[in-house]
Amino acid sequence: MLFFALMVVFFARRDYAGWADVSRVFWKPVGIVALLRLPVLPQPALAAFSVAWKALLVLSALGIFTRISTAGAFLLGTYLIGIPESFGKIHHADAILVWAMATLALSRSGDGWSVDALMRAARRPELPSTPRSGEYTWPIRMMWLVMSIIFFSAGVSKLRHGGLAFVTSDALATHFIHSNYGLGRPAGAPLVDWGLWFAHHPVLCRAMGAGSLLFELALPLALFSRWARRLVVPGVFSLQLGITFLMGPDFLRFAFCYLFWVPWEKIGVALKKSTDTKNRHQFLYDGSCGLCQKTVAVVRRLDVLDRIVFRDALRDWPAIRTEFPTLSQEACLENMHVVTASGRVETGFDAYRAISWSLPLLWPIAPLLYVPLVPTVGRRVYAAVARGRHRGGCPVPTRSAAP
């Protein structure tokens, strides 16, 4: 979700149609473009491909028709990224994006946070949540491997062509000076001119050169060592950030792939521990209603912080009545009830509004639920849906199913 969202933001204004008019004098196809003998399509076709690719990136970020959208994003993206690369200048920060799109296209990347997962939960509420499986591990490890090979190869290349002189000479200081005064400026101008200060301190430049070489050669250790992931990966990221600030080359697209190194599961566990699980919202619903079961399945998927307790007002009523004696079972079966962590009782649309603050994916729209007229419309829509479910085969039970 985050990777494709960043892709959408970065490539939103990228125009590929103009490459159709570039002179073929500069044409030197690279990689898969040469292998498959892919042509440069006419301008209208490139423009259409560009629009289609960006649309597929949006669908991939949202997780809509994930298997199809990610595959399409990979295929069109490979072509559109490959065409500019074939006109004399290779931007090595783009190639890793192709690997990432290919990895996600071949994986079950839509099984987690996606519209597809929510729709699947709504269709089949009886199915359990996505189980733990190695199927969801290999894509992450694949990108670790790709990045390790890239950086290790860069380190080997430095040793192969320059040897230890890359560290012991004034090579890095020269790069700092050239980036501030060379022909590449201002197109690739550094963000700050601190490189000139470092250039006047050879010892610091050599220490920085040694550090960069060490981090590049050591990144493969992160494939096997947890400590290496904690030390070397941030070091490599800092290395690329420093290059952007002091020399100018932009590694922003490359930075998207550091998302694969983030321990998201541990972050999720930490967030759950940081929340007060003793004071959770009580979500009371009619367990005999198919629509209610689908709603619960979707909300359960969205409740990643474990802030909601789901309770069947039909089967669990004895315990609910003991805990909340002021509630009526008939009312709880008629409309969804939420007893908030503070003890406030909300029903219908207001119940959804109350729990929206506990569901991270709904945070962007939660404030909109308080905009004037929105509650009025929301309550009417909820009332219409509730009447429809009763007419459609979900009658309100007249008595508790409990003995």
Task: Classify strands 308-312 and 281-285 as parallel, antiparallel or unpaired.
Answer: parallel
259: CB partners within 8 A, 6+ apart: 2, 3, 6
What is the mean pLDDT, run by run of 10 residues, along the chain of 403 residues? 94 90 89 89 94 96 95 96 85 87 94 89 77 87 95 93 87 85 62 87 91 94 93 93 84 89 87 72 89 89 88 91 90 90 90 90 90 92 80 55 43
Residues, the chain, total?
Answer: 403
Evaluate whether 77 touches 98 at the Cβ level (below 8 Å): yes
Q: What is the pLDDT of residue 186?
A: 46
> Quick one: CA torsion of 296, 298, 304, 305, rounded to 10 degrees?
-40
Q: What is the pLDDT of residue 398?
A: 54
Q: Which of 329, 328, 377 is nearest to 352 (CA)?
A: 377
Q: What is the pLDDT of residue 171?
A: 86
List b or e across 142-158, with b for residues whose CB sees 16 or more CB atoms inside 10 angstroms: bbbebbbebbbeebeeb
Give the DSSP letter string of 170-226. Answer: SHHHHHHHHHHHSTTTTTT--SSSHHHHHHT-HHHHHHHHHHHHHHHHHGGGGGT-H
Q: Please state, in angstroms and rounded to a whole number, the distance separating the CA atoms of residues 222 and 228.
A: 5
Q: Please state, in angstroms and rounded to a whole number, the distance separating the CA atoms of residues 19 and 43.
A: 8
For residue 249, what is the DSSP state? -
φ/ψ (deg, to 5) at 323: -80, -35
The amino acid that residue 386 corresponds to is: A
CA distances from 176 to 91, 204, 235, 291 (A): 20, 12, 20, 64
Q: What is the pLDDT of residue 391?
A: 58
Q: Please state, in angstroms and rounded to a whole number, the distance separating the CA atoms of residues 223 and 146.
A: 11
Domain extent listing, the chain: 1-128, 137-262, 276-391
Evaluate whether 53 touches 76 at the Cβ level (below 8 Å): yes
Q: What is the pLDDT of residue 165?
A: 87
Fold annotation for 276-391 = Glutaredoxin (3.40.30)
